[in-house]
Structure 1
């Protein structure tokens, strides 16, 4: 659209107002206004050239260049269709933190190698697992290169700082510590908690796998647990989804004592449901209303119990770690342990659980001598 107007000096000039379409990077309509043309013909010519340029080259003016966030949002939309809801939610949380602290209102083409190097150094100082953040940044830039938004990926040319070692080592209970803990739990903890803690320690289940269990997953006759799902929190709501990895879907054998504890709890659970008028939902480890046990509540119950009895503090996951460590100490083959724990590969098992306690170290020489003398 061409319009005539008067300048402050009273001279006649022409202006153009053009609709350029929808910017694919922002999803917003783009319009432009240009003034100062001396003739209507000049204004129309400029309008034609502008529309032709947009049609052939896209939105090339600097103001329309997308920000890192705009490109990241597009990538995230595609990424959501390829992963589990929990993975998507975790990645989105990482990305929000990255944008807020390092890329807020920054146009993606303006991120130089030097700037990227500064960002990665800041990340490495702030996060022990900073490579998780860097991996997401790298994916966004690769996506931008793929769409011809930028020509190169600055992450390709940075020097990656050495990743720090985790500050906290995983805690594994000794056989004596575990027995003491479970003995006290049997006497003083609610039956549902004792059942949960014992099952974790004697099966190596992940917390979510345990809390997502249904009674139909337990075969009392053949003494097995079938792991086919895990409890997760998505947007503040508890629900189940397929296990962490393909190898996580597995069948775990149960010892006689664990079978009996689960049977006892099933009977006690029915009595409690009947007493309080709770409708059974087939869930093994339930809250007082028969629903899923909340992760935070489950964690806090263990902390409270350990504090009450003045025991060494450890996490719920420590019971899984304890199970694996005791299997190693008992001489079980790593491949068997890996299958039982549902690790994606045996190297994961070896990397996480082949630490030796003092007794194992002192036994090495004696075991070698016995072998050589046999």
Structure 2
């Protein structure tokens, strides 16, 4: 049985105590400043207890404590070091300073919305707010797995963030891609061609092995990647394991490169001069950026011409070329190695527009408006 009674604390303050049995048969108590607040909380708590969704505040960990359990779980799952490090930054720089001492049981959906508002107020970008709240949701889900939380208040939460940013990805123009292809030479030419025409991620290019290049089948098989710490490992998701068709230009460039490619025990296609895993920064700073500058694909910053694009834009360029050739969203998902088709629509949805049909519709609207 649950009951509410008035209590006088040693400090002289008057509080209303709710005494109740939790879902595990344990006697619990919680204090409130008013009888009305105690009654309202008890009604909601009894409803949650019946559904098995109640966690007593006395056994609920703080956000900081639950975050430590989540990070430990991420490490046990052998997530990439760079991924775990970014999660740790979310915890140390954003979650702990603002809500680290709050108990999970005391965080509601309005409370998470208030936390997101505070993040914006202290200068966090909309994208960073989204990422931090996603991490908070992962903390709640891990706590639920351990029986330390009943619900996830981030589930279904509308953060109401700004939508004024242009959602379209940056894609080099065809003329720019042609200039880059014509300029690329030496060790960087096969890498850049593979990026443009096969759409591999930078980590997948760095982890590509010669045994994964099918010269006879004209395919590249993506089976591993190199992380930010130069460690070869598994791909980002199951969907990332895939086979990609190669055109003759890519295959010929790879054949020529294989004759002079530095040898190493990892059989890498694009290694360092010593045959080890090449760093992403070297590929960009010593390879892709100088090629762009030589090709005239630049923008002016402080009066100085600098490379216009990052390496990942070549992946977007590849997707746009496949879409232009008539590949449907499901095919793009498979070729790009996206885990869901929603990622394809979110990233490239605007490229699937039927421009001819749109133009015809615009002309028909004009005719109908002007006809007598």
User: What corresponds to 2:20 in structure 1?
Assistant: none
1:264 aligned to 256, 272, 275, which one? 256
**How far, CA to CA, are the matches of 1:75 and 1:317 in structure 2?**
30
Match of 1:177 in 2: 176
Residue 277 of structure 2 aligns to a residue whose secondary structure is coil
Q: Does 1:214 align with 2:200?
A: no
Confirm or deny: 8 A CA contact 1:334 1:349 kept in the other structure: yes
| SS of structure 2 residue aligned to 1:337 | helix
Aligned match of 1:254: 246
SS at match of 2:244: strand
In structure 2, the residue matched to 1:92 is 88
Shift of 1:163: 5.2
Q: Distance in 2 between matches of 1:348 and 1:80?
A: 26
Report deviation, 1:147. Answer: 6.2
CA positional deviation for 1:184:
1.3
Note the 1:1-374 alignment, pairs <5 A.
Answer: 67-82=62-77, 84-86=79-81, 87-103=83-99, 106-108=101-103, 116-124=112-120, 126-129=124-127, 130-141=129-140, 160-162=159-161, 164=163, 166=165, 169-186=168-185, 191-233=186-228, 237-269=229-261, 273=262, 279=264, 281-301=266-286, 302-312=288-298, 313-356=308-351, 361=355, 365=359
Check whether the contact 2:264–2:276 (CA below 8 A) recurs between aligned residues. no
- Tell which structure's C-alpha radius of gyration is larger: 1
SS of 2:231 mapped into structure 1: strand
Structure 1 residue 173, shift from structure 2 partner: 2.0
Counterpart Cα distance in 2 of 1:109 and 1:281: 46
Contact 1:121 1:161 in 2 (8 A): no
Distance in 2, matches of 1:226 and 1:153, equals 39
Q: Distance in 2 between matches of 1:262 and 1:326?
A: 21
Q: CA shift at 1:74, angstroms? A: 2.2
Task: Rate the CA distance shift 1:292–1:367 in 2: closer, same or farther, 3 A.
Answer: farther
Checking the alignment, whether the CA contact within 8 Å between 2:80 and 2:227 is kept in structure 1 is no
Deviation by residue 1:91-134 (Cα, 9 ceiling, x = unmatched): 23322222453235x25379665764432112245132222211
Structure 1 counterpart of 2:39: none
After superposition, the C-alpha distances for 1:133-167 in whole angstroms (9 at most, x for unaligned) are 11222343455577676787665798633354656
In structure 2, C-alpha distance between the alignment counterparts of 1:152 and 1:67, rounded to whole Å: 14
The whole-number CA distance in structure 2 between the counterparts of 1:224 and 1:367 is 40
How many residue pairs end up in the alignment?
296
The Cα of 1:70 is off from its aligned counterpart by: 2.3
Cα distance change on mapping 1:66 and 1:183 into 2, 3 Å: same
User: What residue ranges of structure 1 are gaps of 5+ in the alignment?
Assistant: 1-55, 370-374
SS of residue matched to 2:270: coil
* TM-score in terms of structure 2 length: 0.67
Q: For structure 2, list consecutive stretches of 5 or more residues without a partner in the other structure.
A: 1-25, 31-56, 299-307, 364-372
